[in-house]
Structure 1
Amino acid sequence: MPTDKAQALVVDDETDILELLRITLARMEIRAVTATTLIEARTRLAEQSFDLCLTDMKLPDGSGIELIRHIAAHHPELPVAMITAYGNMDSAIEAMKAGAFDFVSKPVELQRLRQLVGAALKLAHRPGGEHGGERVPQLLGDSLAMAQIRQLIAKLARSQAPVFVTGESGTGKELAARLIHAQGPRRDGPFVALNCGAIPHDLVESELFGHKKGSFTGASSDKQGLFQAAEGGTLFLDEVAELPLQTQVKLLRAIQEKAVRPLGTQHELPVDVRLISASHRDLNAEVERGRFRQDLFYRINVIELRMPPLRERRGDIPALADWLLARIAEKSGADTPRHLAPEALAALAHHPFPGNVRELENILERATALCEHSLIEVGDLYLPDPASTHHDTAPEITAPPTAPTEPTHWDHAAAARRLGMSQRSLHYRLARLGIE
């Protein structure tokens, strides 16, 4: 909870807005220091420190965007939110790209304002590493690429802007999303994840927005949607490119209005959710093909985070392998984890890893199961011949010889693409064939 020492800089040239914000903040035990121009705001920032800043978009001597950039450059720890005209999402997105923590539209809704201020003060008063004693996930590796990713994640955690995580399958897109959540002001709220490619198209809207009993065949009771389940926290939509176009329209409205309408109801319900989405596909190409709405892509891709493939950070393989082997041993109940012989580690360092970290984990799980000693040798890895494009040397116990996921290192998304079918169809066929 904020204390009587908390101070906010409020920048607006409309007297009634300044008074409304001052009174609202006072009821939250926050002292408001006001400014009506860009120059005056910069003077206030130079004179004293603040816990948060609220600024209008249009000021008599400039734009609120200029103030946001000034704060980002000179006061990077200060959360700043933009006050925009109603429905002006373009301005809101521009503000968040410039470094704004969040935005609120005029006429200002007091409940929304209180939520925003509360989240901003959590950033100001709590270190990013705290998470109520819970174990926070980590991105392993000392490579320059991972150091840059960790820095960007820490920056993104201080914002409420929608983030779009790109990268090949197995690069850790969901882990990055969980870190953004864990280091941000929503850390005490839920983190809810959905793989959009794993839900049948006729059920995905019910999963996202919920439904009322009797709204469609099989709806035997009311169901809460994932937007509502993620209230106060983060909703992570993995493989968002798999959403059908009709659902994309409704998702766009939910983002713009910060509200959802469950199937079978006539009223929208307000939701307070931060959205992070991800895909291994090139969404620009999907937009050009007419498979993904350009306006939705513009909304979810306010800030892009690219997760590098493992082949771009081979120096991280030893640390990753040690951590994975320790986790495999823990899961299996072994007293001590196995270790890699130098030759085995060298072989892994030269492997192309089309399946990235997920493939490395699969290789080490297989090697642990087959190895009869504490030291994993090259032969225990069953890596393919570098000159071959197929895994003909893989042991038969990993899957039946005709398993469609074997040449793709058990990467279901890649296998589905090669076979020209959806992941959902592939999962159905694997189940019918008894392939695990």
Structure 2
Amino acid sequence: MSDPRSALIVDDERDIRELLTLTLGRMGLRIDTAANVGEARELLARNTYDLCFTDMRLPDGNGIELVSEISKNFPKTPVAMITAFGNVELAVEALKAGAFDFVSKPVDINVLRGLVRHALELNNSERPAPTPAPAQHAMRLLGDSPAMAELRETIGKVARSQAPVYILGESGVGKELVARTIHEQGARAAGPFIPVNCGAIPAELMESEFFGHKKGSFTGAHADKQGLFQAASGGTLFLDEVAELPLPMQVKLLRAIQEKAVRPVGASGEIQVDVRILSATHKDLGELAHDGRFRHDLYYRINVIELRVPPLRERTGDLPLLTKAILTRLGGNQDRPAPRLTPAALDVLARYPFPGNVRELENILERAMAMADEDAIDAGDLRLPQVERRSPPPQAPQAPALQDYDPFRSSPPHLGTPPLPSNGLAGGNTSESDGPLPSYIEQMERAAIHKALEDNRWNKTKAAAQLGITFRALRYKLKKLGIE
């Protein structure tokens, strides 16, 4: 008979220690307790634990310091932080320090039991292997490049936590596969993995889709409906293209994540949900938050751990392995031998920037297989689009014109034309680079920017949109032209 699973409880409140001891003891765990950091260190030095709970504030130290210490010295022991009710900031800080999860006072017994079950699953060697991802998706994480090795190592680490993960990457890099891999390697692998494209749900149906609704709560609600949070309970909810969420829905989502509860449309009370949140977008969520198009509090709540998936152009050394795997799969689907790539074809692929990443590579190879005459694919069979390789932006602009904005295009009707410089465009010395033409362009830009700012009550985000340029381009021009 194997030894019972064990847990360490660190809290200076006797009532909390007794409540946790009673609850965990009924779940078959052997319990040790400590009232401070010093006692906890002594017990950790003598025993191995399957789980640890620690309070945030202890008489002789900080709970977050203990979380960091256990995460470093005892990585197999998941730590859950006990926080005061509503203290989300400290909970997020604990998760960033390596905490597995957190539980708020007063402790909800059902939430506590769910947390314990997930924590014990981390080191359960007998849990069934997860269902492998479809072949066309699984190969997107193939590769021996340093970037992919680092990504897989990071996935392995974040999978042992319950902290929200924000997956950043361009379209086609495999963000959903990364989310699925985190789910499969974590304690929730036996639970559901529910992916949802936030940009594909009409705004008026979002609340019902996410939280469910009760029969008769609105026209067309003919029966009770379970929401995505309820469907993902016990598992993982993956919010793809989270940047597309409208602001009103962001408020409701933030509350659901913080309170671990949802209120279906038309319901009188909330329902507890046990869900890990993973999110992804190809946009710069930090910039959207800065511009006021995404809530700062939600951004920091879902971005506890940020995970960047490298684009294919940053790991071209993986192309031979990727292309071989893709061609083998495509050949199997078409019941024909997998063709090989000639050295010339591989060289052309290595110089192509792949704006669509691995998804585009799959499409290119599938088309090339149809066009190739023999069992080899040559450079001409690839028929790559004429896309220039991306180059780093210049250190300083060579001309003062606005990015993405041509001051000589047709101006909006309300924009007046500034007067010509005193020396004029005609008859002046136009041979010098600092002559009247650049000065005239600068005056046009200044007038256009002033007008846009005044029209939008000095809201820079709206002014940039009116001018047809990015927020960053507008900030650059404001600084360059000395407009405050």
Comparing 3-12 with 69-78, greater Cα deviation is found at 3-12
Per the normalisation by structure 1, the TM-score is 0.85
2:277 maps to what in 1? 275
Q: From the CA coordinates, give the structure whose radius of gyration is larger.
A: 2
Q: Is the 8 A contact 1:4 1:29 kept in 2?
A: no
Residue 427 (structure 2) aligns with:
none
The CA deviation at 1:284 is: 1.4
Q: Deviations over 1:13-67 (max 9, x none)?
A: 1111111111111111101111111111111111111111110111000111010
* Matched AA of 2:339: R
Describe the shift of the 1:29–1:299 C-alpha distance in structure 2 as closer, same or farther (beyond 3 A). same
Structure 2 counterpart SS, 1:20 = helix
Alignment correspondent of 2:378:
377
* Correspondences of 1:125-140 after superposition (within 5 Å): 125-126=124-125, 131-132=128-129, 134-135=131-132, 137=138, 139-140=141-142
1:336 is aligned to 337
Contact preservation (8 Å) 2:260, 2:274: yes
1:307-326 to 2 correspondences below 5 Å: 307-326=309-328
Q: Name the CA shift for 1:366/1:30 in 2 (closer, same or farther; >3 Å).
A: same
Contact 1:131 1:183 in 2 (8 A): no
- State whether residues 192 and 232 of structure 2, in contact with CA within 8 Å, keep that contact through their aligned partners in structure 1: yes
Please list, as runs of the form range in 1=range in 2, the aligned pairs for 1:188-267 lying within 5 A after superposition.
188-267=190-269
Tell me, in whole angstroms, the C-alpha distance in 2 between the residues paired with 1:335 and 1:36: 68
TM-score by length of 2: 0.77
How big is the shift at 1:319?
A: 1.1
Alignment match, 2:351: 350
> 1:92 aligned to 2:91?
yes
Residue matched to 1:13: 12
Unaligned 5+ runs, structure 1: 390-419, 421-436
Q: CA deviation at 1:109?
A: 1.1
Residue 108 of structure 1 aligns to which amino acid in structure 2? V
Over 3 Å counting, the alpha-carbon distance change for 1:26 and 1:144 in structure 2 is same
Superposed counterparts of 1:70-81, under 5 Å:
70-81=69-80
Per the alignment, in what secondary structure is the counterpart of residue 125 of structure 1?
coil
2:453: which partner in 1?
A: none
1:199 shift after superposition:
1.7
Post-superposition Cα deviations, 1:359-393, rounded to whole Å, max 9, x if no partner, equal 1111111112222322111111101346699xxxx
**Residues in 2 aligned to 1:255 and 1:329: alpha-carbon distance in whole angstroms:** 44
Residue correspondence of structure 1 range 169-188 to structure 2 within 5 A: 169-188=171-190
Q: Residues 195 and 36 (structure 1 numbering): CA distance in 2 closer, same or farther, change over 3 Å?
A: same
Q: State the match for 2:111 in structure 1.
A: 112
Asked whether the 8 Å contact 2:64–2:94 carries over to 1, the reply is: yes
- Report the alpha carbon displacement of residue 216 of structure 1 after superposing the two structures with TM: 2.9
How far residue 220 of structure 1 moved from its aligned partner, in angstroms, is 3.2
1:340 to partner: Cα distance: 1.2
Letter in 2 for 1:84: T
Cα displacement string for residues 140-163 of structure 1 (whole angstroms, at most 9, x for unaligned residues): 100001111001000000000000
In 2, the alpha carbon distance for the partners of 1:223 and 1:375 equals 53
Q: How many residues align?
A: 387
**How far apart are the structure 2 equivalents of 1:103 and 1:373?**
59
TM-align CA RMSD: 2.0
Deviation at 1:83, TM superposition (A): 0.5
- Whole-angstrom CA distance in 2 between matches of 1:338 and 1:202: 49
CA distance in 1 between counterparts of 2:236 and 2:387 reads 42
> What corresponds to 1:123 in structure 2?
122
Q: What residue ranges of structure 2 are gaps of 5+ in the alignment? A: 391-467, 469-484
**Separation in 2, partners of 1:262, 1:330:** 46
Distance 2:389 2:98 in 1: 48
After superposition, give the CA deviation of every residue in 1:235-278 in whole Å (9 maximum; x if it has no partner). 00000000111111110010011111112222211110000000
Amino acid corresponding to residue 353 of structure 1 in structure 2? F
What is the distance in 2 between the residues matched to 1:106 and 1:346?
Answer: 60
Percent of aligned pairs with the same amino acid: 61
Distance, in Å, in 2 between the alignment partners of 1:255 and 1:98 is 19
Range 221-230 or range 274-283, more displaced: 221-230
- Judging changes above 3 Å, is the alpha-carbon distance between structure 1 residues 131 and 239 closer, same or farther for their aligned structure 2 residues? farther
User: Which whole-Å CA distance do the structure 2 matches of 1:388 and 1:51 have between them?
Assistant: 51
Q: 1:372 to 1:219 in 2, by over 3 A?
A: farther
Match of 1:56 in 2: 55
- Corresponding residue number in structure 1 for 2:363: 362
Shift of the alpha carbon at 1:222? Answer: 2.3
Q: Secondary structure at the match of 1:78?
A: coil
- Which one-letter code corresponds to 1:142 in the other structure? D
Q: Which protein has greater RCO, CA pairs closer than 8 Å, 6+ apart?
A: 1
